């Protein structure tokens, strides 16, 4: 006999911790959409782990009723993979900033993308290091002026969407914290995707890189007739200049990390393991 269906309202995913983000920070919008999605998908706190790196965005697990892990800077993905490997039944959501995910943690993104663990990775992309007071980040535009670049950033920003499509992520999408309904739909789709879902969310830092006035004019919905399984077309959308694409650019189904692991375990259990003395005899 099945027990009563227990579901939580978005409000019930809030913890007693209150965000200390600056009033107007885009991260509030991302958090609100995350609450909505968890409630809509009926993911219970006991079945959920939220893992973050360091940064203003890194505080997120403290605000979500779930298991949580605020890990060292840039290490959201290896820790998420470990959690998923240990307990594949958990819903795993990684969150962090563009600095955490693309600078210090940038070496982990290609490998998480190609390994395809069944998890969601949300970048709160404000194109700046917010927590450490406004240094330029890998997504800061050329010319960006701040404390660490008083004469303007001379570097090219990287393109998170084109990059993760190239790395082999099986779901690549982008949202905007100022469009909460659409963002909730996107988070729903990302969580429901079987495999590694990468979601870049433009989430302005009102204090150090206030882009609220410039972003709306750049927003462009992914065309309704876009074939999300077409990688070349997804690249075309990702590479459009001076446009913030909103929606899912790419989505395909491929074997997940856990499915591969399960296959190996099954094969290993069926095989007769070599005796230790046989292994040692090879070296004597
Ligand atoms: C190993 C290490 N290096 C540097 C830092 C300092 N640090 C903390 S957060 C951060 C960057 C934050 O930017 P981002 O990841 O974009 O997050 P945001 O604060 O903008 O949400 C840096 C450089 C650190 N905590 N640990
Ligand atoms: S410094 Fe920027 S990113 Fe950090 S809480 Fe304030 S507005 Fe948000």
pLDDT digits (tens, 9 = 90+) for 192-228: 999 999 999 999 999 999 999 999 999 999 999 999 9
**How much distance in Å is there from the Cα of 227 to the middle of ligand 1?**
36
The number of the ligand nearest the C-alpha atom of 53 reads: 1
Confidence of residue 6 (pLDDT cuts 50, 70, 90): confident
Say what percent of the chain tops pLDDT 70. Answer: 98
pLDDT in tens, 31-53: 999 999 999 999 999 999 999 99
Could you tell me if the CB of 210 is within 6 A of ligand 2?
A: no
Is the CB of residue 137 below 6 angstroms from any atom belonging to ligand 1?
A: yes
Ligand 1 near 136 CB (within 6 A): no
Q: What is the mean pLDDT of the chain?
A: 96
Pairing of strands 171-176, 135-136: unpaired
Contacts of 24 (CB under 8 A, 6+ apart): 206, 212
Find out whether the beta carbon of 60 lies less than 6 Å from any atom of ligand 1.
Answer: no
Nearest ligand by distance to the CA of 140: 1
**CA dihedral over 166, 169, 171, 177, signed as positive or negative:** negative
206 lines ligand 2 (CB under 6 A): yes
- Structure tokens belonging to residue 150: 């008083």
Q: Which atom of ligand 1 is nearest to the CA of 125?
A: 16
- pLDDT value at residue 3: 59
Where in the chain are the domains?
Answer: 10-255
> Are the beta carbons of 27 and 177 closer than 8 angstroms?
yes
Contacting residues for 282 by C-beta, under 8 A, at least 6 apart: none
Burial of 122 (0-12, 13-18, 19+ CB in 10 A): buried
* Ligand 1 pocket, residue 33 CB under 6 Å: no
Distance CA 128, CA 33 (A): 22
Q: Of all protein residues, whose CA lies closest to atom 11 belonging to ligand 1?
A: 129
Q: Model confidence over 224-243: pLDDT tens digits?
A: 999 999 999 999 999 999 99
Instruction: Find out whether the beta carbon of 52 lies less than 6 Å from any atom of ligand 1.
Output: no
Nearest-atom number in ligand 1 for the CA of 100 is 15
CB 129 less than 6 A from any atom of ligand 2: no
Ligand 1 and 149: CB distance under 6 A: no
Q: If pLDDT is split at 50, 70 and 90, which confidence band does 1 have?
A: very low
The ligand with the least distance to the CA atom of 124 is 1
pLDDT at residue 256, rounded to an integer: 98
**Fold for the domain defined by 10-255:** Rossmann fold (3.40.50)
Q: What is the pLDDT of residues 154-180, one digit of tens each?
A: 999 999 999 999 999 999 999 999 999
Pairing mode of beta strands 171-176, 244-251: antiparallel
Closest residue by Cα to atom 4, ligand 1, is: 73
Total-model pTM: 0.95
Cβ(203)–Cβ(179) under 8 Å?
Answer: no
Q: Which whole number is the average pLDDT over 107-111?
A: 98
Instruction: Look at ligand 2, atom 6, and give the residue with the nearest C-alpha.
Output: 22
Q: Which ligand is nearest to the CA of 26?
A: 2
Count of Cβ atoms closer than 10 Å to residue 236 Cβ = 13
**Strand 171-176 to strand 196-202: parallel, antiparallel, or no bridges (unpaired)?**
parallel
CB of 125 within 6 A of ligand 1: the answer is no
Mean pLDDT of 55-63: 98
Q: What are phi and psi of 130, to 5 degrees?
A: -70, -50
State whether the beta carbon of 170 lies less than 6 angstroms from ligand 2.
Answer: no
pLDDT tens readout for residues 73-90:
999 999 999 999 999 999
């Amino acid at each position: 006999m099945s027990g009563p269906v227990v579901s939580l309202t978005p409000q019930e995913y809030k913890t007693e911790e209150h965000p200390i983000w600056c009033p107007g920070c885009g991260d509030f919008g991302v958090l609100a959409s995350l609450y909505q999605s968890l409630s809509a998908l009926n993911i219970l706190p006991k079945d959920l782990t939220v893992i973050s790196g360091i940064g203003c965005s890194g505080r997120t697990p403290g605000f979500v009723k779930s298991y949580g892990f605020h890990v060292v800077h840039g290490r959201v993905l290896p820790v998420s993979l470990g959690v998923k490997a240990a307990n594949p039944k958990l819903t795993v959501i990684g969150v962090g900033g563009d600095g955490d995910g693309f600078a210090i943690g940038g070496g982990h993104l290609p490998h998480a993308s190609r390994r395809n663990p069944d998890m969601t990775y949300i970048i709160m992309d404000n194109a700046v290091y917010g927590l450490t007071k406004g240094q330029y980040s890998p997504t800061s535009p050329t010319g960006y002026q701040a404390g660490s670049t008083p004469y303007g950033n001379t570097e090219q920003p990287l393109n998170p969407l084109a990059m993760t499509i190239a790395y082999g992520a099986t779901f690549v999408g982008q949202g905007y914290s100022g469009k909460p309904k659409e963002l909730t739909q996107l988070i729903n789709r990302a969580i429901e995707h079987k495999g590694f879902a990468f979601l870049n969310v433009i989430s302005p830092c009102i204090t150090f890189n206030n882009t609220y006035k410039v972003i709306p004019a750049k927003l462009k919905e992914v065309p309704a007739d876009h074939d999300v399984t077409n990688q070349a077309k997804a690249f075309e959308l990702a590479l459009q200049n001076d446009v913030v694409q909103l929606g899912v650019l790419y989505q395909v189904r491929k074997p997940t990390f856990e499915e591969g692991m399960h296959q190996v375990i099954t094969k290993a259990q069926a095989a007769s393991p070599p005796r230790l003395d046989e292994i040692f005899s090879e070296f004597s």
